[in-house]
Structure formats: C-alpha cells, structure tokens
Amino acid sequence: MSSKKSGSGSRRKSGGALPETFSRPDLRNVPLCNRESSFLAFDERVLELATDESVPLLERLRFLCISSSNLDEFFEVRVAGTKQKILGGVEGAGIDGLSPTQELALVTTRAHALVKRQYQVLNDHLIPALADEGIRFLVRSEWSQSVREWVADYFKNEIAPILSPLGLDPAHPFPRLTNKSLTFIIDLRGVDAFGRDSGYALVRAPRSLPRVIPLPQSVSGNPHGFVFLSSIIHAEIAQLFSGMEPLGVYQFKVTRNSELYVQEEEVANLRRALESELMHRNFGQVVRLEVASGCPPRVLKYLQRQFRLDDGDVYRVDGPVNLNRLFAIPDSIDRPDLKFEAFSPMVSTQFQAGVDLFATIKQRGDIVFHHPYESYEPVIELVRQAASDPDVLAIKQTLYRTGHRSAFVKSLMDASRSGKDVTVVIELRARFDEEANIALATRLQDAGIQVVYGVVGYKTHAKMVLVVRREKDRLQKYVHVGTGNYHATTARLYTDISLLSSGKALTEDVQKVFTQLTGLGQTLDLKRIVQAPFALHSFVIDMIQREIRVAREGGKGRVIARMNSLVDARVIEALYQASQAGVKIELIVRGICILRAGVDGLSENIRVVSVLGRFLEHSRVWYFGADGDKRVYISSADWMPRNFFSRVEIAVPIEGEAGQRVKEECLDFYLRDNAYSWEMTSEGAYRRVTVDESERRASFSAQQTLIDRFQDQYQSD
C-alpha cells in the first residue's frame, strides 16, 4: 500500500497523526447513483433553465453556454479518467456496481442525448426567440448581397492574414491540434501550384479571433445582427486555395485529457514539475470529437483514424461546435429587459471604506456576511487595512483561486513592501488555475512575501486570513474564514458565507493551522475548527450518529446539509442508518449526489433537492438538530473522499443568532424553494419542483427572496 493511502512516510511528517484508512463499506446491494451519471443529471438541470421562460432571454443563452462549458470539463477530467482506467486494465466495479467499461457506455449514451438536447435548445428555442427581439444569427442561406460583400471584406482584412492553411501530405502530416480548438477540414479537388493532387487540408481558427462577429445594423438590417466565424470561413475558404475547388468544409473540435499527472512525493520541486506538465495539457489523449452534422462518412472516418476514436466518441452537432463561445453575446448587447434585473451587493455603513474595521470586529464579535447579497468588500477591506495599518505586524492568507487583478494580492504586496511579515499559502494545483497560480507565486515572492505551496500530497482548500496586530501591550489576532475563494469577481456571482472574528479560540486555531501548513509540526488541539484530513470525516459521521442516538432514545434527530457534491460512501452509509433510525434528513446538493433518497426501508426519511439560479450555489453549511442541541457549521469542504482525506479543509461553528440566521438563509429558504428547485426521486432521477394551483402556494425563489431581504434591510439602516 502506498504512503499516500497509509499516511506513512513524508506525509506523516507534514501534519499530525492521520486517521486510519477506512475500508470501503460494502454497499454493493445498496442503491447508489453512478457519480458520472449524476453529474450529467446536474448539467441537464442547468440546460433546463435555458428553456425556462421565467428566466430572461439572454440569461437563458448563458445557461446554455454554462451547460456546454460544464460538459467540456467533464470530458477533459472525468471521461478521460474513466478511459485511463480502461486502458490500464482496471475492470473492478465501483461502489455503484459498474465497471469502468460499463460506466463509459452509460455516460456515452447520456452525453450524446445531452448534446443533442443542447442544440435543440439553441435551434428550436433560443435562436427564434432572440430573432423576435432583433437579435439574429445570420446563416449563409439568409445573407443579402450587402452581407456577402461585408463578409468578403472582413475575411480579406481581418481573418485571412491570421490563418495558416495546411495541406495534408507526407511533407505536411496531420498536426497535433490543441485542446478545444476550432478547426476546419477541407475536402479539395484540383492540382496545386507544385503539381500535387489535392486531398484534405486543415485551417485552424486562432483563439485570438472572435467566434461570433457583430454586423453593422446598416448591413444586417437588425439592431443586433451576428455571423459565426465558422460561417465566414466556410463562405470564403476558396480564397485560401487559389485554383482549387473546396468540395466541402467541415468544422470540428477535439477535447483532450486535461488532467495533470504529477507524483508529488517523487519530485524535488512541485512548481517546476507542474510547469513541465502544463506544457503537455493541451496535447493529452483525445477523448471526444465534435464535428458538423453534415460531415460525410469518408471525412469523418479519416478524422477518427487520426485521433484513434470509436464511433461513440464522435458527437455530430447541428450548429457551432463551440457553444460556450456564445458567452460573449449577452455582455455585448445592451438590453437590460432581457437580463436579470440589475443587482448590487449591499454594504452596511459600518463596513464601508474608511471605517476602522478592527474596532468594529472587536465591538461586534463574530460577524457573518452572506455573499453575494452582502458585499465582499469588508473581506477585501480587512486585508487592505491590515496592509496600511502601522500596528499590524503580520498577515497570513491561503489562496486557491484569485482574480487576475486581485485586490488581495495588491494589499499583500503593499504590506510586504512596508515591512510587515506576510505569508501566503498558495495552492498551485487548483485545477485549470495552475498556470495562473504559478505566475502569482512568482509575483508574490518578488515582493518579498514568504510563499509556501501547502503540503505534499494534499491540496490546501481551506479559506483563511489571519491578521496579527499590536494593540497597546498585547498582540490581538483577527481572522476571516469562509466557504468561497478569495476572488472578488466570483464573490458577486457565487453564494458563500464569510465570518470575521477576533475571538480568542478561533484566532488561535487559525494560527495553529497556518503554523502546521508552513512548518513541520504536529497538529495541536483545536478548540473551534474541525480540520481535514485529520478529523473532519470522523466528525461528520459522529454528528450523524449523535442524531441516531437521539432518535433511538425517542427524541427528534435532524440533519440538514448543503454542499456541492455528496460522494463519500461512509457518510452515505451513516445517513442511511440515520434514516432507518427515524432521523429526518434534508440535503441540498447542487451537483453530484450518489445517495438515493426516498427508498423504502433504507432512505425514506431522506430528501435531496438541487437549487439553481442566477447565482452559483457554493456555500457549504451543515445543521445538526439533536432534539434542540442545535449546531451550525460552515465549511470549505464537500462530503467527498478527496475533501476528507486529500485536502486541507476546515469547518467552523456559527453560534447564537448568527447561526440561526445562517440556517434560515442557507438552508430553510432553499428547502422552501419551488421556483428553481429539483427533487430527487427514489430511482435517483430528478423532477422539477412546481407549484400546483390547488396547493394555493405562491412561487418562492430562495435567491430572489434573499435579494429582496437584504435590499430592504440595508435601505432601512
């Protein structure tokens, strides 16, 4: 058994005693959903919002793009991983009873149906509805003479100079196409300038070119007319092959395995190893080919041979192969009536710029913010004031994902340059942010900041800031802990919880965790924080078992938990046992959930809902009722093995009125949602929650209720 699993060797040195490895529970005869199929069910829910007429039209287009982007990442990571298992000869069944080969067959069938549905939504729902609003995507058969002339001129001046057509022959073999790049294969007839018979040629569309080009209204005849880059290239491709005849032009895109494979315990320098591996990310194994539906079998078979793909790996599409590039459309159109109503996060006068934040925290005690309904500015201001305050001696912060022009980074660099001790734990392995984080680490180090990359073998996913300040004759500590990343842009789009505190127990716990991350000491006794990979998994199971004991003794056991994903088999086993003991369990799981709810004799006391909306639901909040002994926790962790055993995560209790508020806003409201909520059936499928007129209930949206609540609350302050 490897050291990674056993907790021996170098990993034991990096922290306290790891929990003993749990044997996988035998759930082969217990109903579980397949993880990958559960993700596709989530993406189907996202796509359903693209057809929901209660959602503004341009926002519906965004949801289509999100669904497409989600599916790209799913193939890059999850499908690629399943294919790797098959290539490696792994045939053992997972906890859902499916082998990798069976899983791939299941996922392929469902993914094909999802892609087909995506293009039906685009062609049958969104394009006609957008046309009714004067927003038109002009196909070549509809081009007027003025449009054709404009396109020809645009191609000549803006596109052709950038393109590099590649004729395929022994001197020009099929190239290594980058991941998710738009490419055209051209079937040519004729003889070139060197007397060679033609065959196939490729034209790659550089990423610098927009995929959707706006037309002047005077040309298109519409307030907002657009043409696809693919349509322009298709129409003008002959200009690139003088004297030859293009018999057909077909767009395609390949999706590659984008997982990074670094044996962290076997490299001398993690950063250099990642930099080396990143060079190969765009050229991993091809796992999917998307191609225009009109591509003839002869050309398609040629592409399949080049990429070594089976028929099931080919996805014929009736439209642009890169749907997520339509993301740019809503932002380019000034039509507020077709978008969500403008919304600005609320900021209390007690936390506006210039207010002494340290004094406010000390006076008010634990302070909770609910983003994006409440502004993220107080969190930014904490680090900003710490950087400029002469009494602040040290700042420590974890960074997992942060923006390109991060206010946090600027403040940390300012603090270091002013002589403060600044330490940043930056997670280089944050998926798809590795390159940005490597560059960020360099910038921070150049500013004199002590940068550490966490712990070998574990991702540092906890969200923490610690500020040490001299106040009179003593040192006072202030902390921020939260469920979301230190990213000001996503803080306006994701729902998350923040806690600011100067409480002695919590600040000392955060200090101990930072010391553990940057040094080599053992984990000390933590008073408020529960930490993975040491105690969080057993803590969650213990809390569920506490509810079981209460229920068996005649009390009311209650568990409400909200997270992005629920996958851990041990936790699911405990939840099933709790349901059988009579504990009422309600789970708000945005994405993947392999637990089956409502199964007679097993999980009839478990309800699972998924709530979507204009904001991405990102908070992790847990409530354990125990017959009145109520506990509320916020966390950076989902209930997944990777969070429990392969990451540094924290969970923090929220007590008193703040805890009641978090429970109401993050749990109770979402369990009431009947506007954008889906409920799991006993078969593991999801059905949309709707309002029956006979129920005499009004439509209730958790997100809109919170927008209204905070606007009313802050306006009355």
Residue with tokens 């600011």: 500
Q: Is the pLDDT of residue 400 over 90?
A: no
The percentage of residues in the chain with a pLDDT greater than 90, rounded to a whole number, is 68
Asked if residue 244 lies in contact with residue 292, where contact means CB atoms within 8 angstroms, the answer is: no
| The two structure tokens encoding residue 425 | 């734990």
| The two structure tokens encoding residue 169 | 């022959």
Q: Report the distance separating Cα 573 and Cα 575, nearest Å.
A: 5
- Residues labelled catalytic: 461
Asked if residue 216 lies in contact with residue 150, where contact means CB atoms within 8 angstroms, the answer is: yes
Strands 616-617 and 620-624: unpaired
Candidate ranges 283-292, 514-523, 645-654; pick with highest mean pLDDT = 645-654
Q: Could you tell me the pLDDT band of residue 57, with boundaries at 50, 70 and 90?
A: very high
Kindly report the pTM of this predicted structure: 0.90
Q: Which residues pair with 455 in a beta bridge?
A: 458
Residue 109 C-alpha from the chain's centroid: 24
Q: What is the pLDDT of residue 22?
A: 40
The percentage of residues in the chain with a pLDDT greater than 70, rounded to a whole number, is 89
Q: Is the pLDDT of residue 28 over 90?
A: no
Q: What is the pLDDT of residue 340?
A: 95
Q: Which residues of 48-73 are buried (b: 16+ CB within 10 A; e: fewer)?
A: bbbbeeebbbbbbbbbbbbbbbbbbe
Asked if residue 558 lies in contact with residue 584, where contact means CB atoms within 8 angstroms, the answer is: yes
Q: Is the pLDDT of residue 699 over 60?
A: yes
Q: Is the pLDDT of residue 124 over 50?
A: yes
Q: Could you tell me the pLDDT band of residue 573, with boundaries at 50, 70 and 90?
A: very high
Q: What is the pLDDT of residue 5?
A: 35
Q: Could you tell me the pLDDT band of residue 171, with boundaries at 50, 70 and 90?
A: low
Q: What is the mean pLDDT of residues 214-221?
A: 92
Q: Report the distance separating Cα 274 and Cα 288, nearest Å.
A: 25
Residue 332 C-alpha from the chain's centroid: 24
Q: If we measure between CA atoms, which residue out of 335, 142, 320, 156 comes closest to residue 236?
A: 156
* Helix, strand, coil percentages, rounded to 5, for the chain: 40, 20, 35
Q: Is the pLDDT of residue 15 over 60?
A: no
Q: What is the pLDDT of residue 244?
A: 82
Q: Considering Cα of 545, then 546, then 549, then 554, what sign does the dihedral take?
A: negative
Question: What DSSP character marks residue 262?
Answer: -
Q: Is the pLDDT of residue 612 over 50?
A: yes
Residue 580, C-beta contacts closer than 8 angstroms, at least 6 positions apart: 601, 602, 605
Give 264-273 pLDDT, tens digit per residue: 544 456 556 5
Q: Report the distance separating Cα 669 and Cα 654, nearest Å.
A: 18
Q: Could you tell me the pLDDT band of residue 278, with boundaries at 50, 70 and 90?
A: low
Q: Which residues pair with 656 in a beta bridge?
A: none
CA angle 83, 648, 522 (to 5 degrees): 130
Q: Is the pLDDT of residue 16 over 50?
A: no
Domains defined for the chain, CATH in brackets: 113-338 (3.30.1840.10), 349-522 (3.30.870.10), 532-716 (3.30.870.10)
> SS3 string of 501-517?
ECCHHHHHHHHHHHHHH
Q: Report the distance separating Cα 167 and Cα 679, nearest Å.
A: 53
Q: Which residue did the predictor score with more confidence, 166 or 278? A: 166
Q: Is the pLDDT of residue 194 over 90?
A: no
